[in-house]
Amino acid sequence: MQNSTDGRASDATAGVTALPDTPLARAALGLVTAAESECIANHSIRSYLFARLMARSTGMVSGREYDDRLLFLACVMHDLGLAPEGEHTQRFELVGADRAAEFLTEHGLPAAEVDAVWEAIALHTTPQIAERRGPLCLLVRAGIGVDFGGALSAGLDPMAVTDEEAEAIHGAYPRLAMISSIVDAITTQAAKHPANGPSYSLGGELLRERGNPPRPTRMELAALSSRWEG
């Protein structure tokens, strides 16, 4: 995987794929790339890059309206609950939030910042509520939403990401059939234990829609008309 644009990047996309280069950011990225499939890790990184572009499009400034350090950490670790190892007995959003919080606490992040990242990860599949929990939760959901090619909350326009910017991001971090891979991972976890996919949670609904014999879920069908392929 790459973490920067090459020398051929145009002025319009220069820096669009750059990632934070602090020791904590590198450690978080190392955790994610070791625990997750390349497909899901790429999705998590793209979610951060798209979230940063959405912040720019709404006039949000890092260090003023939001904290880019926490945005990176929340986005890049938001799907740790889909890592295959470990006994999962709660929905994947909470597994990921708990694992991220444990990691960040071990690395000395202040408790208030750990809590903020935990909340953003725990709520990333919860529309309307996440958007009302402050800029971090809003931007995490926005970045993930752009990567899924879906509609965003009021006031956020996914078309603020230009085709040139999207091409640079997808060139650095390919999609690799992301939608179907994530649905597979979520339903696999949900099928392991009833608490992993409670009724009306994302995991529970995807497991119900997937069925037996397996069939495409609404998320996968919606991806067929998405802005992105896969």
CATH of the domain at 132: 1.10.3210.10
Mean per-residue pLDDT, 41-66:
95
Q: What is the mean pLDDT of the chain?
A: 91
d(CA 171, CA 128): 31
Q: What is the pLDDT of residues 135-160, one digit of tens each?
A: 999 999 999 999 998 767 767 888 88
Establish if 209 belongs to a structural domain: no
Interaxial angle between packed helices 23-35 and 92-106, expressed in degrees from 0 to 180 and rounded to the nearest 10: 140
> Which residues span the domain enclosing 134?
23-175
Domain count, the chain: 1
Q: What is the pLDDT of residues 50-60, one digit of tens each?
A: 999 999 999 99
Residue 5 has pLDDT above 60, yes or no: no
Establish if 102 belongs to a structural domain: yes
Q: What is the pLDDT of residues 114-127, one digit of tens each?
A: 999 999 999 999 99
Residue 198 has pLDDT above 60, yes or no: yes
Establish if 205 belongs to a structural domain: no
Establish if 190 belongs to a structural domain: no
Task: Enter the DSSP assignment of 66.
Answer: B
Establish if 3 belongs to a structural domain: no
The size of the chain, in residues, is 230
The distance in angstroms from the start CA to the end CA of the chain is 18
Which pLDDT band holds residue 84 (cuts at 50, 70, 90)? confident
The answer to whether 204 and 194 are in contact (CB under 8 A) is no
Establish if 225 belongs to a structural domain: no
Establish if 64 belongs to a structural domain: yes
Establish if 135 belongs to a structural domain: yes
Which pLDDT band holds residue 224 (cuts at 50, 70, 90)? confident
Q: What is the pLDDT of residues 181-192, one digit of tens each?
A: 999 999 999 999
3-state helix, strand, coil in the chain (%, to 5): 60, 0, 40
The answer to whether 126 and 188 are in contact (CB under 8 A) is no
